[in-house]
């Protein structure tokens, strides 16, 4: 439908793309200028240490992916085989929680469980026959990554399993297929189709993981590129090294994302809760016992750190903590910045969604234009550029002209907004496209456009999806420790930054209390987003 | 009684979408109802979309009266269109849906509200101003769309199978309503339908579209005789 060439929606999309372009382009400009100014320094930075870090980055991501995805196959299959498993819906809901938890909260939960002074330290020490050193380094990173990604992979695999038509299951039970043959004939083909995408997504998340490695990794032996970038800028003041590390990180993520695209994976993940049940399976007792064991182990592994976060958080002196001026200021800063960031993310997403639709509408068949591609899949590519990289780029760009730390609020708001934007697009686009499908010609005929259209037609339909996008973006921004770690200072502290500072100065009780507060805040926002989202689709 | 009727003319219009192409060269008589029939995918809806301005021709001109509207935006053409469905905004009540025909900003003066109420009475929906579309039947929703046509008061009315999803009795009622609105306002009506009896009952003229072009045009009565165009007789025979 060729409705209008001068659609304001297209202009909005172009502005949004330009804003994103400036943010990312500025970072690259900073890196480029720095490399040009000191090419020898940047080249020298490519030393054996750097390659050791790169190797470790890949190695931990590979191990994390294997340890997350392989067990997830069994957990998902066990859940799929037992649609009436007691508390199944609750388990699935619990498996969605890590997605909503800030990484630093999870890291703290894991430490209070398996750390040197953790709840499991004594039994573990007795078991290993010595003193428990606590999990730091590779083992800590792996445990944390599996904590995040095992539930994610489980849910995605379960989703893949539920795309199997019910008729196949009726058929399987009619033919008397047992657990083994039905896995081979029905489950495995469905899982295999989805597996490359899921594994790729997990790998991508692990390769760009910053907070976990920062808090649980130990020393030069267990450092990834992202953490090394941070250290190069914050502690060594070595921009040349930061540039080299950043270039390597970008190259690495670009390769992974290209591979992911070939595999057809969705890089924004998925938060849909599979609830469909099938009732054609009669599992034998042995299988039932095994599956129950698998589910319980997974549940303990995922639920443990959450429980530890709650228990140790409650042990902290929450009352004193809440009364502390620094905590109050950090909370306020966090909420203000996250609100601004979420607003920006939602506006960016809406602009892109509207522009994409308008461009698709004005196209009479044929190829998509470059602009339409950018507003369509292009938006998701910002995830290729990790927040630390953008932060690092701007850091070296502006460090000589302005006080870097004064940029903290601006950087936190914009970078987090751009990072949350792809998720916001996911929340808004289906509703907008469906409404547009119904309203486009009618609006064109009646001459409803611009502000009138936004106010009378689009807003009533979109307010819920927009609220979903907003609260999700706010949760993401609230829990982020990437940009603020680079730009934070005593003057501008967010909750995660304060949490990190308290961890660093061994005020474990404070950290636990703060983690509980932050975790609950993010969880509440995500649940709100989820609820609003589900009411929309009804 | 304000709208003055105008002829609609597609002058050597060529339009292509992906790999399909249509060519229309046809005139619709002013102030009369013309039925447009033809197989699915023949280009009937495309023809209406070209007149309404939802599609822009690659070549040729679209004329309404003496005015060239080939590239005019839909809202600036003297045209109202009723679609098969989605004629109403689901979140707005009946009065607002009709009122949008008067003001796209929905700023309605007292006189406008009175006109909306009159139009609703005229289509048999008096007192339903505050209902939401989901509280109406399929037929009532199309009546709301017709009420908006009355409020807009444009000389051209395009009907794109608006009654296709209604039962026989209801469709009959709607046809009567369209006939009486036409008698009152005398607008030029282009009526796409799959039902031969609709055409016979309502339309004085007939345009038969096949494979992206006008295959035959003339008086409806002539179409339904044994001397009618062969392609049309074939189509009717095949459809029924």
Q: What is the pLDDT of residues A453-466, one digit of tens each?
A: 888 998 888 888 89
Cβ within 8 Å, pair B92-A438: no
Helix pair angle (A495-504, A508-537), 10° resolution: 150
A366 falls in which pLDDT band (50, 70, 90)?
A: low
- Chain A residues close to B98, C-beta within 8 Å: none
Task: Measure the CA–CA gap between A497 and A511, rounded to whole angstroms.
Answer: 11
Interacting residues of A275 by C-beta distance below 8 A, sequence separation 6+: A89, A92
Tokens coding B129: 């101003």
What is chain A's mean pLDDT, rounded? 83
A8 has pLDDT over 90: no
Q: Is A460 on the interface with B (CB under 8 A)?
A: yes
- Chain B residues close to A447, C-beta within 8 Å: 73-76, 104
Cβ within 8 Å, pair B81-A449: no
Q: Kindly report which listed range (A186-195, A351-360, B30-39) carries the lowest average pLDDT score.
A: A186-195
Q: What is the helix (H) or strand (E) element at residue B189, kind and residue range?
A: strand B188-192
A365 falls in which pLDDT band (50, 70, 90)?
A: low
Of all residues in chain A, the one with the smallest CA distance to B19 is A365
The dihedral built from the CA positions of residue A394, A396, A402 and A407, taken in this order, carries a sign that is positive
pLDDT digits (tens, 9 = 90+) for B168-227: 888 898 999 999 999 999 999 999 998 888 899 999 999 999 989 999 999 998 888 887
Structure confidence at residue A338 (pLDDT):
93
A274 has pLDDT over 60: no
- What does each C-alpha distance from B223 to A394, B36, B228 come to in angstroms? 75, 12, 4
Structure confidence at residue A222 (pLDDT):
84
Cβ within 8 Å, pair B104-A452: yes
Averaged pLDDT for residues A25-46: 82
B82: three-class secondary structure by DSSP: strand
Structure confidence at residue B135 (pLDDT):
92
Averaged pLDDT for residues A239-263: 81
A255 has pLDDT over 90: no
Cβ within 8 Å, pair A446-B83: no
Structure confidence at residue A1 (pLDDT):
43
pLDDT digits (tens, 9 = 90+) for A277-291: 455 556 677 788 888
- Chain A residues close to B17, C-beta within 8 Å: 364-365
pTM: 0.81
Tokens coding B159: 């009907």
A423 has pLDDT over 60: yes
A135 falls in which pLDDT band (50, 70, 90)?
A: confident
Structure confidence at residue A536 (pLDDT):
53
**Is B196 within 8 Å of B37 (Cβ atoms)?**
yes
Structure confidence at residue B205 (pLDDT):
93
**Among A residues 349-388, those touching chain B with beta carbons less than 8 Å apart:** 364-366
Which residue has 């989805």 as its token pair?
A: A194
B120 falls in which pLDDT band (50, 70, 90)?
A: very high
Structure confidence at residue A117 (pLDDT):
75
- What does each C-alpha distance from A58 to A71, A207, A227, A257, A482 come to in angstroms? 20, 7, 14, 14, 20
A470 has pLDDT over 70: yes
pLDDT digits (tens, 9 = 90+) for A21-30: 899 888 888 8
Task: Measure the CA–CA gap between B107 and B48, rounded to whole angstroms.
Answer: 29
- Chain A residues close to B75, C-beta within 8 Å: 444-448
Which residue has 């469909």 as its token pair?
A: A276
- Chain B residues close to A456, C-beta within 8 Å: 89, 92, 100, 105-106
pLDDT digits (tens, 9 = 90+) for A156-171: 888 888 777 777 777 7
**Is A224 within 8 Å of A209 (Cβ atoms)?**
yes
Averaged pLDDT for residues A375-392: 78
- What does each C-alpha distance from A89 to A79, A100, A421, B27, B180 come to in angstroms? 10, 17, 29, 64, 59
A484 has pLDDT over 70: yes
**Is B184 within 8 Å of B1 (Cβ atoms)?**
yes
Structure confidence at residue A264 (pLDDT):
59
Interacting residues of B41 by C-beta distance below 8 A, sequence separation 6+: none
- Chain A residues close to B16, C-beta within 8 Å: 364-365
Averaged pLDDT for residues A108-125: 81
**Residue pairs spanning A and B at CB distance below 8 A:** 69
Of all residues in chain A, the one with the smallest CA distance to B16 is A364
**Is A291 within 8 Å of A78 (Cβ atoms)?**
yes
Averaged pLDDT for residues B64-71: 92
Cβ within 8 Å, pair B74-A444: yes
Structure confidence at residue A272 (pLDDT):
43
Interacting residues of A400 by C-beta distance below 8 A, sequence separation 6+: none
Q: Is A439 on the interface with B (CB under 8 A)?
A: yes
Q: Is B71 on the interface with A (CB under 8 A)?
A: no
A267 falls in which pLDDT band (50, 70, 90)?
A: very low
Q: Is B226 on the interface with A (CB under 8 A)?
A: no
- What does each C-alpha distance from A54 to A7, A60, A220, A381 come to in angstroms? 47, 10, 12, 22
Q: Which of A377 and A516 is assigned the larger pLDDT?
A: A516
Cβ within 8 Å, pair A452-B92: no
């Amino acid at each position: 439908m060729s409705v209008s060439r001068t659609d304001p929606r297209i202009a909005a999309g172009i502005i949004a793309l330009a804003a994103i372009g400036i943010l990312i382009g500025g970072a690259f400009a900073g890196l480029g200028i720095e490399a040009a100014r000191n090419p020898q320094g940047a080249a020298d930075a490519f030393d054996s240490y750097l390659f050791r870090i790169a190797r470790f980055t890949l190695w931990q991501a590979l191990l994390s992916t294997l340890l997350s995805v392989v067990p997830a196959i069994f957990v998902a299959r066990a859940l799929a085989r037992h649609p009436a498993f007691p508390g199944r819906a609750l388990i699935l809901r619990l498996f969605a929680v890590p997605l909503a938890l800030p990484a630093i909260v999870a890291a703290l939960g894991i430490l209070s469980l398996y750390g040197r002074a953790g709840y499991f330290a004594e039994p573990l020490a007795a078991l290993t026959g010595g003193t428990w050193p606590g999990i730091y380094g590779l083992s800590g990173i792996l445990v944390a990554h599996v904590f995040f990604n095992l539930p994610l992979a489980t849910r995605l695999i379960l989703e893949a399993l539920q795309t199997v038509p019910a008729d196949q299951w009726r058929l399987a039970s009619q033919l008397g297929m047992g657990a083994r043959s039905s896995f081979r004939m029905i489950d495995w083909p469905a899982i295999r189709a989805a597996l490359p995408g899921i594994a790729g997504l997990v790998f991508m998340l692990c390769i760009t993981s910053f907070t976990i490695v920062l808090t649980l990794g130990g020393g030069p032996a267990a450092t990834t590129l992202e953490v090394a970038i941070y250290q190069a800028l914050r502690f060594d003041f070595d921009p040349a090294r930061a540039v080299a590390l950043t270039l390597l990180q970008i190259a690495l993520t670009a390769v992974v994302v290209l591979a992911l695209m070939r595999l057809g994976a969705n890089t924004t993940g998925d938060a849909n809760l599979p609830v469909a049940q099938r009732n054609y399976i009669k599992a034998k007792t042995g299988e039932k016992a095994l599956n129950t064991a698998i589910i319980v182990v997974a549940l303990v592994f995922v639920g443990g750190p959450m429980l530890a976060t709650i228990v140790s958080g409650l042990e902290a002196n929450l009352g004193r903590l809440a009364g502390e001026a620094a905590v109050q200021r950090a909370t306020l800063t966090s909420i203000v910045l996250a609100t601004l960031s979420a607003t920006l993310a939602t506006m960016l997403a809406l602009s892109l969604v509207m522009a994409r639709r308008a461009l698709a509408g004005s196209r009479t068949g044929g190829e998509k234009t470059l602009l339409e591609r950018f507003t369509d899949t292009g938006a998701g590519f910002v995830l290729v550029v990790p927040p630390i990289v953008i932060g690092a780029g701007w850091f070296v760009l502006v460090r000589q002209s302005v006080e870097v730390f004064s940029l903290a609020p601006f950087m936190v708001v914009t970078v987090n907004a751009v990072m949350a934007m792809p998720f916001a697009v996911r929340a808004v686009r289906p509703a907008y496209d469906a409404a547009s499908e119904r309203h486009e010609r009618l609006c064109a005929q009646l001459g409803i456009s611009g502000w009138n259209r936004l106010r009378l037609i689009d807003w009533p339909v979109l307010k819920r999806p927009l609220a979903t996008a907003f609260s999700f973006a706010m949760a993401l921004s609230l829990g982020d420790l990437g940009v603020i770690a680079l730009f934070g200072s005593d003057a501008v502290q967010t909750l995660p930054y304060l949490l990190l500072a308290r961890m660093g100065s061994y005020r474990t009780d404070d950290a636990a209390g703060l983690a509980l507060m932050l975790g609950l805040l993010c969880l509440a926002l995500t649940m709100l987003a989820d609820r609003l989202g589900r009411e929309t689709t009804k | 009684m304000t709208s003055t009727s105008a002829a609609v003319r597609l002058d050597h219009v060529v339009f292509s979408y992906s790999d399909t192409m249509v060519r229309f060269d046809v005139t619709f008589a002013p102030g009369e109802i013309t039925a447009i029939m033809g197989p699915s995918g023949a280009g009937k809806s495309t023809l209406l979309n070209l007149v309404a301005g939802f599609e822009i021709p690659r070549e040729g001109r679209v004329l309404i009266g003496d005015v060239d509207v080939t590239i005019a935006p839909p809202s600036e053409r003297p045209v109202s269109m009723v679609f098969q469905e989605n004629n109403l905004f689901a979140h707005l009540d009946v009065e607002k849906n009709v009122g949008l025909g008067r003001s796209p900003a929905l700023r309605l003066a007292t006189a406008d509200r009175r006109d909306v109420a009159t139009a609703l009475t005229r289509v048999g929906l008096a007192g339903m101003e505050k209902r939401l579309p989901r509280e109406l039947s399929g037929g009532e929703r199309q009546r709301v769309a017709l009420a908006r046509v009355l409020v807009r008061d444009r000389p051209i009315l395009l009907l794109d199978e608006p009654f296709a999803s209604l039962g026989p009795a209801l469709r009959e009622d709607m046809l009567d309503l369209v006939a009486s609105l036409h008698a009152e306002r005398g607008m030029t009506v282009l009526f796409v339908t799959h039902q031969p009896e609709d055409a016979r009952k309502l339309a004085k003229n007939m345009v038969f579209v096949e494979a992206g072009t006008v295959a035959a045009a003339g008086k409806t009565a002539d179409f339904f005789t044994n001397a009618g165009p062969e392609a049309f007789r074939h189509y009717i025979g095949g459809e029924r």
